[in-house]
Amino acid sequence: MKTAEQLVHPFPPTWDEHSEILILGSFPSVKSREMAFFYGHPQNRFWRLVAALYEDTAPQSVEERRAFLLRHHIALWDVIASCSIVGSSDSSIRDAVPNDIRPILAGAPIRGIYTNGQTAFRLYRRYLLPEIGREAVCLPSTSPANAAWSFDRLTEAWRVIRRTETS
């Protein structure tokens, strides 16, 4: 049985002064920590999903992914700055310390905050909502563990982020 490790988030958020959408995960998976960027597991549907939403090509490299986010005015970060975690298991997160998202909210015209999955949403409501005072919308997780949601069903649910944008 794996033991929990006390970890600190290994990479910064991606955003700029034009970001309008803020998507928050919980904490990076083992694969994401290895590649030092968000949604690094090849089976995670995040990149394919956002590419479909924006009718764009799914980015592959970290550089392409960062450019994709900025081009489409998406800020990407995680709720947790450090925690005790077993592997990639969100359900094992303990001793969580939240990230401070106030610099993003102060530096960009964020129109909507969304969480990628229930764990990120629960952690957001517990740690960040009292500080920020802005509700987040919980979107179904793009994780391969969320097999109950087909790609088409995920895409339909995630379309809400496109309705948040300015014209």
Annotated active-site positions, please? 44
Look-up of token digits 């409501």: 125
Q: How far is CA 104 from CA 9, 118, 132, 155, in A?
A: 17, 22, 11, 26
CA proximity to 83, closest of 1, 30, 5, 143: 5
Q: Are 119 and 25 in contact (CB under 8 A)?
A: no
3-class secondary structure for 43-84?
Answer: CCCHHHHHHHHCCCCCCCCHHHHHHHHHHCCEEEEECEEEEE
Crossing angle of helices 151-158 and 46-53, in 10° steps, is 60
